Structure 1
């Protein structure tokens, strides 16, 4: 059975302190994408828009279902590699990352990629269900039976994600293939919606009557009414069958950081087909920076060296290359060993898990931001603040590092209680 998508994408910066939208959303005839960036200092919006720009070229193309899943997985891998490239080029972006949910349509099948704590929901035959699983610390507690679903909704650590795209090779999304049926409704949303709006309220809105645009507007409105302090982005799509007629939605919609970064700009004629529009978006996102000037084709040729001097230069060069090769091998294995360690320090005022060791080897950074918690260093007792500042709290794996952060959170809560009682800590 032939199907099509009728869709809408909406976003809002929210009522918090963020000065820019770090979410990116894209909706097209064959592709739905939502990314929630993180990292601060213009890095979160860069991360989400980078990933969206890498995936949009998939829209408007025809794939078999298995091929669609492979193409989607490859595009996510390439997007993650681009994050690493951008951080290598600009150290200020180090530590940025983004969640990702993407649906790629193939006939009546949907290839799905998911990493992070952004969510996808499905309404089928009036039944509302979550079809993605959060990659978060709270979800781990829920899976282990240590907290209930009700406790998970209000857990203070619900913003701590365990898997996102960060440019590392082991950042792998969950991949699956699902059948789409006429009458289905899909909702993709960043955590600015479910963290502030009850699941029952989201269900009431998404299962109600209305077009995807009306439903998307209502979800943004209820999030703002609930005083969401985070960016909030939604993509809503209805699955249409042949008997429903044409979807009347063919123009891709881009919202959030991806739109702010002019990913949709096209310098040439206006594209007319969905495939052409998606290709134009990809070209705009990946266009190289203009050159400062043309190369001088008439540069003077280098003068030839005398034979003995050339031989000496060649010998020294070969020796130097050999030494560099040996150092590189040692460096690779040594660097790999450092990246199996973790330590706690501060990043932009918050308690942060770093991967690696706190030292640098000349210009080589032996550490990177792994996870930024929501615990402010200034809220910790003085003893804990000094330990965070000295970077003396280390862990052999990431789970142990998360445990250290939880202990610091407990100390912070106890300290705040003492202050409230008039004592000092």
Structure 2
């Protein structure tokens, strides 16, 4: 609206209205809205600033009309009509008519004096801007200004990119892309249509127009016929190309998975060692820091050294060999807990191959192994040597008294055999 070559005048005017918006009750959008009417009247920055000031003062005495109403009324007045100023703001028609025919510069001065005389002064604007509502509107205006400036600068920076992109849209390269896309889309549509046609023809041939299918009497027979037809088609496809395709795909998938696992071995190994080391560190910390009762220590692998020692001694005595192999029950029953490697600690978290002396709670899940044994509660009590275990006589101290005929020991090996049989009976 200022015309070409007036960039400096435009910048000056925008700077002024922006400063007013920063301290005014009104936002920059409100000032720019009334500016269109004023610029069509004058492009002199001093006069435009006076017009904006008068509009803001009028809006201050009648906020219902706002800047939009005051801007419209002033524009009409500068065009020779005082009707809007009289009706909207209840100004004196008599006073307004005195200078409505004067040159614009004189009109602005006389309006300034008249508005000051009725209290619509610059002091009123300043007072209103300091109210809570004024401060709120200034805050909103500052936020909007920030967003607007960010958007403006962002658009300026991407403008060259948009120009290049629009050039590319008009280039031969984009024309080739459009042609390729057209061919691809038409090919997809043609392929889909052809597939539907072939499927429809196959269904008509095999079922709808097939007398053999139509003459079947029961639903069960027709379902069986349909499955047989699909099975024949699958076998034909499998023999022709399906087997080769699936086999090749499976081999590729297997190679990829094997390669991934092979490359991940160092990472997996390190993770396992780290986890096992953390677990062993926790166990040692518990055992060395707290004075735990024996019943609690028994729940910690390797924690109850006294019980571990007794188990080892008993196991050695009752073994058939010299390598401490348990004679019955597997390691979950008889074998004393041994110091474990890092990998052994991890596997113990999965199963109970190292043994567990006491099940700590009901419904505890367990992964058992071949050759191991699980004892009922009473037999487990007897095996642990607990007092009050049921020895078949309603309770007892745990002592076993053997009576009967005289035992004839022919050789030292008989003692071991007798002890072994007793152990078997106790375990059962």
Highest RCO, 1 vs 2 (Cα 8 Å, sep ≥ 6): 1
Asked if TM exceeds 0.5, the reply is: no
Alignment TM-score, normalising by the size of structure 2: 0.17
User: Greater Rg, structure 1 or structure 2?
Assistant: 2
Alignment TM-score, normalising by the size of structure 1: 0.17
Q: Kindly indicate which of the two structures has a greater share of residues assigned to strand.
A: 1
